[in-house]
Amino acid sequence: MGNQTAYQSLTRTFERLHRFGHLGAIASWDQAAMMPAKGNEARAAAQAELQVLMHQLITSPELERQLQQAEQENLNDAQRASLREMRREWQQANLLPAELVEAKTLAASRCEHAWREQRKHNDWQGFLPNFREVLRLAREEAALLAEANGVSRYDALLDKYEPDMKSAEIARIFDDVKSWLPSLIERVRAKQAGEAVIRPQGPFPVERQRELGLEAMKLLGFDFDGGRLDVSTHPFCGGVPEDVRITTRYRDDDFAQSLMGIIHETGHARYEQGLPRDLLALPVGRARSMGIHESQSLSFEMQLGRSQGFLQLLAPMLRRHFGDQPAFEAGNLARLFTRVEPGYIRVDADELCYPAHVILRFEIERALIDGEIEAEDVPALWDQKMMAYLGVDTRGNYREGCLQDIHWTDTFGYFPSYTLGAMYAAQYFATMRRLDPALDGKIGSGELEPVFGWLRDHIWSQGSRWSTDELVRRATGEALNPAHYRAHLEARYLG
């Protein structure tokens, strides 16, 4: 057997897995955006079958032999990184029996499909039986992964989204945020109480909102030959790097929700579209972690999208689509898009309140997976933490409380990624401004390539070549430093 033969065989297997994953991703997008309700059981069964097929492929004994052989082959540094990511994916898969993979897929699909109606009807009791089953299977998965990796059950699930990150480190970072965030929210609200903000006057026809969203995507460099925009219950970015699907939802009395959602999802999409094309079929060519993924969407939505320079670009676009009105003056837009008002809904939360929503979910889901609480305990804990962190009363309001997110219908360990992403994004922009003090002026004049170019060079094109810490250190000169996040929030909201 010549050099690299085993590595080449592995490459072919992972290319097959990538193509199966492609089909699964598009089927999932269709399930969320286009599929009629009666198709759900059949689609769930088809998706479960595909997951089992992929699981069989990656757990084949032949693959273990090839991984061992490839370790002995004459590989370059890039191939070694690729082999490391292949092994990581193989290890994760081999710890889970096929029956568990299938059961999880079916339970998640049932829970998510029923959740759509249960949320509308504030039906926590109806949601609970499906949720208990999803939680039972998640704990089973967590126990298997935890035992093999010598970590806590929650850390084992967290590692799927944030490789090498530990919940103790996240808790330390979040406890620090909790020590200064409530008083910052209070100070900002007191400051903003004296500011006049003109509210845009609707209605804002959905078709014009869609046209505005498409124009914003174009401004942000989305490749429409490699993706599209659609509508779903919960906005998301899905599909595959070669065919990125983003979705939003519209309300005719509020264009901002949809517009900022589209800008957010376009950040995810640009990351996918910017991944190294020659490595897309391999684990090393994928996004590094969900925190890094969220750092892209939040670079677009929060760092760029709500900056004064970008809002100057947005003002004439709003007038063109919705007519001229005083609310669309750039200074007013800046006040409008940085308005701090604690509310119920995470995806609608302002930049300052958002981390409180994430921290409470992290604390609840960690306790759930580690067995400290049960499914029935979620509403009371939710109510208590919403009141403590944001002063918002959610008692009896499940629809806008613990039923609002799609995530717990199938996923635990993901929520911390949102605030880690916000922290990474603040660190990127601190670095960009240090390297280019004229950056904000360039953004205001429509010159966005300095931002995209930096992200492309330092994040998108790197895929999973480096560990998360190493990726961020190479990009910014240091590993994650939450001080940049606090400095950003204080400068924007108190400056």
Residue 122 amino acid letter: N
**Helix%, strand%, coil% for the chain, nearest 5:** 70, 5, 25
The answer to whether 262 and 229 have CB atoms below 8 angstroms apart is yes
Cα 321 to Cα 358: distance, rounded to the nearest angstrom: 34
CB proximity list for 482: less than 8 A, separation 6 or greater: 173, 176, 177, 423
Residue whose structure tokens are 């089953």: 133
For the chain, the straight-line distance linking the first and the last C-alpha, in angstroms and rounded, comes to 65
488 is in an annotated binding site: no
Kindly state the helix (H) or strand (E) to which residue 97 belongs, with its residue range: none
Q: Which residues does residue 251 pair with via DSSP β-bridges, in sequence order?
A: 254
Residue 492 amino acid letter: R
Cα 477 to Cα 219: distance, rounded to the nearest angstrom: 29
Is 265 an annotated catalytic residue?
A: yes
133, 162, 265, 351: the active-site residue? 265
Asked whether the CA dihedral 248, 249, 254, 255 is positive or negative, the reply is positive
SS (H, E, C) 215-284: HHHHHCCCCHHHEEEEECCCCCEEEECCEEEEEECCECCEHHHHHHHHHHHHHHHHHHHHCCHHHCCCHH
Tokens of 479: 């590993």
DSSP state for residue 200 in the 8-state scheme:
P
Which long-range contacts does 441-447 make (Cβ < 8 Å, 24+ apart)? 441/309, 442/309, 443/304, 443/307, 443/309, 443/310, 443/313, 444/308, 444/309, 444/310, 444/312, 444/313, 445/309, 446/219, 446/313
Short-list 358, 476, 487, 330, CA closest to 421: 358
The answer to whether 354 and 177 have CB atoms below 8 angstroms apart is no
294 is in an annotated binding site: yes
By the 10 Å C-beta count (0-12 exposed, 13-18 middle, 19+ buried), 150 is classed as exposed
Q: In what order do the strands lie in the sheet with 237-240?
A: 227-231, 243-248, 237-240
The answer to whether 36 and 30 have CB atoms below 8 angstroms apart is no
293 is in an annotated binding site: no
Short-list 119, 153, 183, 135, CA closest to 356: 183
Cα 154 to Cα 132: distance, rounded to the nearest angstrom: 17
Annotated binding residues, written as ranges, equal 264, 268, 294
The residues carrying an active-site annotation are 265
Annotated binding residues for Zn(2+), written as ranges, equal 264, 268, 294
